[in-house]
Amino acid sequence: MTEARIVVPVELKSVAKPVLAVVDTAAPWCIFEPVVAESLVRNSLPILRQTFLSTRLGMIQGSLYREVLRIPADEGEPLDVEASVFLSPDWRGPNFIGYQGLLQRIRFAVDPEVNLFYFGRI
The predicted-structure confidence for 37-90, as pLDDT tens digits, reads as follows 888 888 777 887 899 999 888 999 999 999 999 999 999 999 999 999 999 999
How much is the pTM?
0.87
Taking only Cα atoms into account, the Rg of the chain, rounded to an integer number of angstroms, comes to 14
Single-letter residue type at 58: G
- Is 118 in a helix, a strand, or coil? strand
Ordered by start, the domain boundaries in the chain are: 7-121
Architecture of 7-121 per CATH?
Beta Barrel (2.40)
